[in-house]
Amino acid sequence: MVTLSIQLPLILLMSKAIILILPLLLLLNPTSKRSSIPAVPFWVSLYDTCRGVSRLQFYKTRLQPLLDRHGAVYVWNAGRWTVLVTKPEYLLRMFRNETVVAKGGFYRKVPWGSFAMLFGENIIDSHGATWDRFASVIRPAIQKPTDIESLRERSSQLADLFLTTQKNGSLTPGVTIDPLIQRWAIAVYGETFLDSEIGCMDDPANPLESSVTAVKSNIVGPLFAEFPFLEKLSFVFPRRRRAITAIKRFEHLLVKHVDSQAPTFNGKEKLIHRLLRARERSELTEFHYRSNLKMLTIAGHENAQLALTSALWEIGVQQSVQEELLKDISTLPKTYTVRELDRLPYLAAVICEVLRLYPPISQLINRVTLDDFDLANGLRIPAGTWMGWNSYGVHTNPEYWGKSAKEFQPLRWGNDINSVNNLFRLSQAKGHFIPFNAYSRRCPGSGFALVQLKVVLVEILRKASWTADPTYHFSLTSRSVLAPRNCRLVFTPRSEESYIHTLS
C-alpha cells in the first residue's frame, strides 16, 4: 500500500505532463523543413501504440499507403521524428553513404534504455574506427562454414525433439515449436561460436537459455520504445525493473559460462577465441567485449530461430512444397557437404522465399545522418536525423515482385541453382531483397545462416513430416522481428518406406 501511495501521485504527475505536452506535439507540423517527405501524424502513432497495434499492422495501415507513393516517410520513433525508407533507389543511396548516414543503434539513440543496456556498443551498431576494430576481430570468425557435422547432429536432435514432444502429447493436437527451436539455435551458436556446449538441447530448464527467454519476455514494450523517457522512471514501472533484472542475469550467466568453459584454441579458431584474445591485448575494452558477446549471442540465435519457425510454418501449410523439398534432397548422401547442399535449387529457393516473405528483422532504424544528406533530388534529410528501413515493405511490393508478392512461391526464384543464385545476387544489388542489409555493412554471418537453414531443413525432412495444427490461429509477432507467433505444428515420423514412396 505504501508503494502504491507513492506511485499514484507520480503516475498522475506523468499523466498531467503528457496532457500538457501532447497539444504542443500535435501543433507541430511534422513536414515543416522536411522537403516533400510525408509524415505519419504524431497522434496516429500515439493512438496505435496505446492500442497495442503490432509493427506489421502499423506498417500495413499507416506506413504502406505513404511509402508506396513516396518511398520514404517521417514517423515518430524513440522520442523523435525519423525517416523510414523502402524505395530501392533510396535504400541503396543510404547503404552506400556509410560516412554520412552512419550506423548508430540503441547505445547512441537511447543510452539509458534497456536495449542499450543489453547490447551496448557492438559490431552491428558501431561506426568508423570503432567498427573497423570490431570487424577485424569478429568477421573472420563468422564466415560460411565448411565443417557441418556438429550442426547436422544438433539439427537431427531437433527433429527427434519435435517427434518426442508430439508423442508425449499436450492439450493441443500440435507442438509449439518456438521454444524447441530456440534451444536448438542457442545450442548451435554455443558449439559453433563459443566453442562450448551450453546444454540446452537436453535440459529445457537450462539457466542460460532460460535467461534468454526472460530477456525476450520482459524487454520493454512499444510504449517505452516510442517514448523512451519513460524508461527513466523505473521506480514507477515494474516491467522496466524486470527487464533490468533479466538483462543483468543474462549477462552474468553468459560471461560465467564462457569463463567456466575456458575455451582454448585447438587449431580451429572460433569467435570466442578472437574475442578473448582481443580483450587480453586491450584491442577490446571489457565493455566492448561484453557488448559484442551479448549482441552476437542474441542475434546469432534469434535470426535463425525466427527464419526456421517461418519456414516450418509455410512448408507445413503447403504440402506440395514439402514434397518438392523431399525430391530435391533425395540426391544427398547420408553424410553430405556444404558444396552438395549448395547444388540443391529448390531448397535454396525455399529459403530465399522464407527470407523474402518473413525477413527476421522486418524494420530497423539504426542509422543517423552526420551531415545534411540528399536522399534524392529535392529530398534533403537534415543532419542528426535517424533513418531506417522496412524490409517487409520492400520484399512484398508488387512493383518489384509482381502481383503475387505477398504469396509464398519458391519457384519465383528459378528452377535451377544458377537461376536462384543469380536472382538472389541481382535482387540484393537492386535493393529489392535486403534480409542481410547491404554493401559494407552486410551481415557477416549471412553465409553461415544460409547453410544453417539448409542443414536443419534437410535433417527434419529426413525424419518427419508435418502439417499445421488445425486449432492454431495464425498470427505474427508484434515486435520489429517477424515470424509466426506461438506457431503449432503436427509432426509424424517419416519411415524409410514412406520417404521412398513420397519420392516415387
Type of residue numbered 220: V
Long-range contacts of 418-422 (CB under 8 A, 24+ apart): 419/345, 420/345, 420/348, 420/349, 420/352, 421/348
Beta strands in 351-486 (DSSP E): 363-369, 373-376, 379-381, 386-390, 464-468
Neighbour count for residue 132 (Cβ, 10 Å):
10
> DSSP labels for 287-315?
HHHHHHHHHHHHHHHHHHHHHHHHHHHHH
Which residues lie across from 76 on neighbouring strands?
Answer: 81
Q: In what order do the strands lie in the sheet with 363-369?
A: 72-77, 80-85, 386-390, 363-369, 101-103
User: Which residue from 313, 349, 342, 357 is spatially nearest to 460, judged by alpha carbons?
Assistant: 313
442, 425 contact by CB (below 8 A): no
Torsional sign, CA 430, 390, 107, 75: positive
Please name the residues in contact with 187: beta carbons below 8 A apart, sequence gap of 6 or more.
154, 197, 198, 199, 200, 201
- DSSP single-letter state for residue 63: I
Type of residue numbered 190: G
Cα 233 to Cα 217: distance, rounded to the nearest angstrom: 20
Cα 341 to Cα 352: distance, rounded to the nearest angstrom: 14
* Residue 443 in marked binding region: yes
44, 388 contact by CB (below 8 A): no
Q: Are strands 386-390 and 80-85 parallel, antiparallel or unpaired?
A: parallel
Annotated binding-site positions for heme: 443
Binding-site annotation, residues: 443
